[in-house]
Amino acid sequence: MKHFRTISAMLSACILTASCIAPQAIPAKALPSEAWIYGDVNDDNHVDVSDAVLLARYFMEDRTAKVSDLGLLNADVDLDEELTGDDLNMILEYIARIRKELGVRESETVQTYRATNLMADISDKEAVKKDADEAFISSQMQLTVDLFKGAAKDEQTKDNMLVSPLSVSQALAMTANGAVGTTKEQMEKLLGGQIDLETLNAYYRSYTDKLTVNDDVLHIANSLWIRDDKSRIDVPESFLQTTNDYYHAGAFKAPFDDTTVEDVNNWVNVHTHKMIPQLVDIIEDSWIMMLVNALAFEAEWAKPYYNWDVDEDTFHAYDGNMKVEMMYGSEYSYLEDENATGFLKYYKDTNFAFAAILPNESISVNEYIDSMTGESLQKMLTNVQHTKVKTEMPKFKYEYKINMNEMLKALGVKDAFVPGTADFTKLNTVEEALTHIGLVLHKTFIQVDERGTKAGAATLVAMAQGAALEPEPKYVTLDRPFIYAIIDRETNLPVFIGTVQHPTEA
């Protein structure tokens, strides 16, 4: 497998309450024009002992050991973006015929947890599935815009922003399956508009199955973590069955102490491919369940940027001009509406694309977001003009975090947050626990460079136990704040959607 994988990871969570070689960085700008050979440290198109010897001398800081930028890229045989003794060991194993291939991600180790697996006695039942149609796509596009606009308006959002509608919807949908009455109706309306929860379950199961047809490209996992205290929470088997059948959720009974913090974070780390190493710092005394969704997206550009495609240029950020590394290219999918232009850049061997949207100079990013609707975003992403586009895009990298409680209340999910008013009796039969949502936390990460996209997200929903011809080419120059999304090309639904107000060097 001769390719470099770029990674993005996403995480959502619902919490219910009642060796001696120092790692060395790899050069970012080096990128060959042809497929390279992992393990070929000396660039002779073969992997043999001389490569291992050269890498060992390089680690020992032998000044006569000359390794090119391409050789350093070839040396990163475990695809972790740094050179360590692990890379040298793998090359030696390959030479000794112990290892069959280099340049592939190591299989994740089987994780063991100190929590008790509650799904051991839950057998899979054939779930009803419903393929994505106009009604589902429209509802999810509106949910995307609702979450995006809500985050843009939130006082916590002062700079770059990134949300994952897929992550948030998976976490909230699992939670909604434990709700009844008005609590359920409000969550249904946010998640699906006029679509009832049972139908949404069928849509989500079919949609995520198709998105993850290649698990190496997009990986989704869900889990439930339940406090080991039946006086505070007793989860009906029907809830476990539903989350298993429609969301493939694992379920664990745990003491909700420091060992559970470690277990949850280990689970998150594995299923986000180490993109989100930690979700929770502590478990509050009032928490009685955590529902967690993790997502990892890995792809490379179909047309990567090479070192000669990158040069320093100026980005006109909101707080002044700044120097950035700008990537120059040509695409053939042009986007345009009355207030913005943009383009699609495709990922290799996947059904995903990166969509960039640049508001006109007279309109700020926040003004454009404020004017967005689900219908307008869908139209923008659907009406693609197949014409040449000269593009300029900065490398960027940032993290983002937001508490979504107030946003979700403003979007109509009100009862779920109020002890005594929230009704989650299909999730917890201990009525006196007054189970309700205590926290919805969303954390994300994005990095875009020559090779592709590396992004991660974490969403935490905490529920609490309460006392109550060839034409002239188009030009899209992303040298001022812009909007972007990673979309599923079949439905045009964003998996991630964000803004770049102030790029940092990737």
Please indicate whether residue 156 or residue 136 has the higher confidence score (pLDDT). Answer: 136
Kindly report, residue by residue over 302-348, the tens digit of the pLDDT: 999 998 999 999 999 988 899 999 999 999 999 999 999 999 999 98
Q: Calculate what percentage of the chain has a pLDDT beyond 90.
A: 52
Domain 10-15+122-155+163-299+402-465 has CATH 3.30.497.10: yes
In single-letter form, the type of residue at position 30 comes to A
Q: Report whether 9 contacts 294 (CB < 8 A).
A: yes
**Domain ranges in the chain?**
10-15+122-155+163-299+402-465, 39-95, 307-397+471-500
pLDDT for the residue numbered 109: 45
Residue 382, phi then psi, degrees to nearest 5 = -90, -40
| Residue for token pair 């995307």 | 144
Alpha helices in 214-364 (DSSP H): 237-247, 258-271
Instruction: Give the tokens for residue 279.
Output: 């979700």
| Widest CA span in the chain | 74
Kindly report, residue by residue over 19-45, the tens digit of the pLDDT: 445 566 555 444 444 445 788 888 887
Q: Could you tell me how far CA 340 lies from the centroid of its own chain?
A: 25
The per-residue b/e assignment along 416-453, b for 16 or more CB within 10 angstroms, e otherwise, is bbebebbbbbbbbebeebbbbbbbbbbbbbbbbbbbbb
The CATH code belonging to domain 39-95 is: 1.10.1330
pLDDT for the residue numbered 277: 84
Kindly report, residue by residue over 415-446, the tens digit of the pLDDT: 999 999 999 999 999 988 999 988 887 877 77
Question: Residue 499: how many CA atoms within 13 Å on its side-chain side?
Answer: 25
Instruction: Give the tokens for residue 402.
Output: 């937001």
Round to whole Å and give the CA distance between 477 and 480: 8
| Residue for token pair 């290219």 | 329
Q: Could you tell me how far CA 228 lies from the centroid of its own chain?
A: 30
pLDDT for the residue numbered 346: 96
Cα distances (Å, whole numbers) of residue 270 to 106, 151, 189, 205, 462: 12, 28, 33, 22, 21
Chain length of the chain: 506
Kindly report, residue by residue over 369-407, the tens digit of the pLDDT: 999 999 999 999 999 999 999 999 999 988 888 888 899
Degrees, nearest 5: CA angle 176-489-204 = 20
Q: If pLDDT is split at 50, 70 and 90, which confidence band does 215 have? A: confident
Is pTM beyond 0.75? Reply is: yes
Confidence check: pLDDT of 14 > 80? no
Q: Calculate what percentage of the chain has a pLDDT beyond 70.
A: 86
User: Going by C-beta distance under 8 Å and a sequence separation of 6 or more, which residues neighbour residue 292?
Assistant: 11, 12, 13, 14, 171, 222, 223, 224, 225, 264, 267, 268, 279, 460
Kindly report, residue by residue over 79-138, the tens digit of the pLDDT: 777 788 888 888 887 877 666 677 665 544 456 678 888 888 888 888 999 999 999 999
pLDDT for the residue numbered 340: 96
The two beta strands, 320-331 and 389-394, are antiparallel
Q: Report whether 359 contacts 497 (CB < 8 A).
A: no
Average pLDDT over residues 263-289: 87
The CATH code belonging to domain 307-397+471-500 is: 2.30.39.10
No. of helices (H) and no. of strands (E), the chain: 12, 20
Confidence check: pLDDT of 464 > 80? no
Q: Report whether 393 contacts 478 (CB < 8 A).
A: yes
Cα distances (Å, whole numbers) of residue 409 to 186, 366, 417, 492: 10, 21, 8, 27
Instruction: Give the tokens for residue 469.
Output: 């011809």
Round to whole Å and give the CA distance between 346 and 6: 13
- Sequential DSSP letters for 242-270: HHHHHH-EEEEEE--SHHHHHHHHHHHHH
